[in-house]
Amino acid sequence: MTSTLFDKIWDAHVVTPESRANPATLYIDLHLIHEVTSPQAFTVLRERGLSVRRPDRTLATIDHSTPTLKTPDGNPLYVNAQAETQVDTLLTNTADHGIETHGWESDARGVVHVMGPELGATQPGMTIVCGDSHTSTHGAFGAIAFGIGTTQVGHVLATQCLLMRKPKTMAIELSGELADGVTPKDVILAIIAEIGVGGGTGYALEYRGRVFEQMSMEGRMTVCNMSIEAGARCGLIAPDETTFEYLRGRPHAPDEFDAAVERWRALKTDADASFDKIVRIDARTIRPMATYGTHPGHAAPIDAPIPVADNEADAKALDYMQLRSGETLGQQSVDRVFVGSCTNGRLEDIRATAQVLSGRNVADGVRMIVVPGSESVKAKAEAEGLDAIIRAAGAEWREPGCSMCIAMNGDKAAPGELVVSTSNRNFAGRQGPGARTILASPETAAASAIAGRVVSVAGLRAV
């Protein structure tokens, strides 16, 4: 029998099969936890006198509510007491249950989807869950990785298993090569614009084709990260030499690494396996992208006119964004720029940002913050002198965390401000009440900061 990569991993983790009446019971290899969606789950455990079944397969960090600024004496500058309590609760819960936790003192702490791969905890062939929708990120390593709710966090903590119905499979096949200056973020925004924010609902996506084979692990993570924004709970890419080399030598990588690589080589879709659906996109047609509306499917090439709203919801989105059909994003002046998040807060993203900023200045009236996705990204970026380049251009270099991606930690925009952001969600109010978010790549974000309006790097050269 031939099967897809998804089917192979799924089948290897089924404890009891799915029936008409019941979902499958799936064994979970890695459970990532953070401070927002775990407290109630630990409370339930305590109330029922249950312990954590596999603390050794559970890994915790603090990221969403952590501030990106410190007091002069080096303490975290929490936005309010609630944020601090949330973080402290996570730290107490994980200490009580003997779970490896990357708190303030850890040099590996970071946004959960940046940290897991950096530690080598994310590996090909695994099932990975987290109480967080962007868990799809880890699919970049050829893993089935998806977000779960707080109730399910409790189930996994107690049993290391999850009840789930098997999704259908969808291949996203890119043919041809990308044009110069087109980044992984542009690729995923183009895919979501093509299939729609509900296009992946009920499916596990497999990204296929040379474009993905040639992409770095960082780029693959950016793509898989936003699978959920197309409605798919998980998206994956077959592991290859790039994956294996990324993982080699990382703290959680298998001891018998070469033997693991031999097993991982079998993780690919068989040549004649069939998908429930196939979407084909010509990579050569993809241009630098940005969003103009209030969901990630509202995306178009930056230099194209803003599309006509042909339904009430789209008209409402343009209204919220204070944009008009037919205008271009380049006509809009920018108030803030945010580089960071689990989509684009990795070293490669910081390098790309610094490269564009180097020797230039952030435009007057624009406030730019660059937030590394983890302590490790921060340390490496600083060792390369990227923080100095970023600061010299007039941008702020902050402490790692989710920051302005979710605006629950003190970092947010003011009502009406236009933000060019490298994160993954442009929902109304996501970056602060009334804030208007434009999603784009780090390159575009940095170029826009310099131009003071929304431009790609090529557009900046033309200024």
Ligand X SMILES: CC(C)[C@H](C(=O)O)[C@@H](O)C(=O)O
The interface with ligand SF4 within residues 307-366 (CB under 6 A) comprises: 341-342
In this chain, which of 406, 439, 446, 455 binds ligand SF4, going by CB under 6 A? 406
Tell me if 90 contacts ligand SF4 by CB under 6 A: no
Residue 402 annotated as binding site: yes
Phi-psi label, residue 149: left if phi above 0, alpha if psi -120 to 50, beta otherwise: beta
- Cβ burial of 271 (10 Å; 0-12, 13-18, 19+) is exposed
- Three-class secondary structure of residue 236 per DSSP: strand
How near is the Cβ of 153 to ligand X at its closest, in Å?
10
Which listed residue (37, 169, 409, 423) binds ligand SF4 by CB under 6 A? 423
Region binding ligand SF4 by CB under 6 A among candidate stretches 39-47, 197-205, 288-296, 400-408? 400-408
Least Å distance, CB 86 to ligand SF4, is 13
The piece of 126-134, 202-210, 442-450, 452-460 that touches ligand X (CB under 6 A) is 126-134
The reply on whether position 138 binds ligand X by CB under 6 A is no
Closest residue to bound ligand X by CB: 133
Of 132 and 206, nearer to ligand X (C-beta) is 132
Q: Which stretch in 127-135, 284-292, 296-304, 316-324 sits in contact with ligand X by CB under 6 A?
A: 127-135
CA nearest to 127, candidates 91, 160, 167, 97: 160
- Nearer to ligand X by Cβ, of 112 and 454: the residue is 112
Q: How is 334-395 classified by DSSP, letter by letter?
A: PSEEEE-HHHH-SHHHHHHHHHHHTT--PPTT-EEEE--SBHHHHHHHHHTTHHHHHHHTT-
Q: Binder to ligand X among 7, 132, 206, 443 (CB under 6 A)?
A: 132
> What letter would DSSP give residue 35?
T
Taking the least distance from each CB to ligand SF4, the nearer of 405 and 451 is 405
Residues 6+ apart with CB under 8 A from 349: 218, 222, 339, 373, 422, 442
Kindly state the tokens that stand for 93.
């819960």
The yes or no reply on residue 133 touching ligand X (CB under 6 A) is yes
The CA distance from 35 to 60, in Å, is 8
Which DSSP state fits 36? T
Of the candidates 193, 406, 407, 449, which one interacts with ligand X according to CB under 6 A? 406
412 lines the binding site for ligand X (CB under 6 A): no
Whether the CB-CB separation of 31 and 150 falls below 8 Å is answered with: no
**Alpha-carbon span 249 to 404, nearest angstrom:** 32
Output DSSP code: residue 176.
Answer: S
Contacts with ligand SF4 by CB under 6 A: the residue count is 13
The minimum distance between CB 460 and ligand X, in angstroms, equals 29
Strands of 131-167 (E only): list them.
144-147, 161-164
Tell me which residues in 131-190 interact with ligand SF4 (CB under 6 A): 132, 134
- Tokens coding 452: 């003071």
Q: Which of 8, 31, 64, 298 binds ligand X (CB under 6 A)?
A: 64
SS3 label, residue 199:
coil
Query: Tokens standing for 70?
Result: 């410190």
Q: Is residue 37 near ligand X by the rule CB under 6 A?
A: yes
405 assigned to a ligand binding site: yes
Q: Tell me, residue by residue from 98 to 127, as one string, x for binding to ligand SF4 by CB under 6 A and - for no binding.
A: -------------x-x--------------
Instruction: State how far the Cα of 146 lies from the Cα of 201, in Å rounded to an integer.
Output: 13
Nearer to ligand SF4, 228 or 290 (CB): 228
Residue 459 lies near ligand X (rule: CB under 6 A): no
Are the beta carbons of 108 and 400 closer than 8 angstroms?
no
Using the rule CB under 6 A, which residue among 67, 110, 139, 147 binds ligand X?
Answer: 147
Could you say which of 232, 317, 402, 418 contacts ligand SF4 (CB under 6 A)? 402
Q: Which residues bind ligand SF4 (CB under 6 A)?
A: 63-64, 111, 113, 132, 134, 341-342, 402, 405-406, 423-424
Annotated binding-site positions: 342, 402, 405
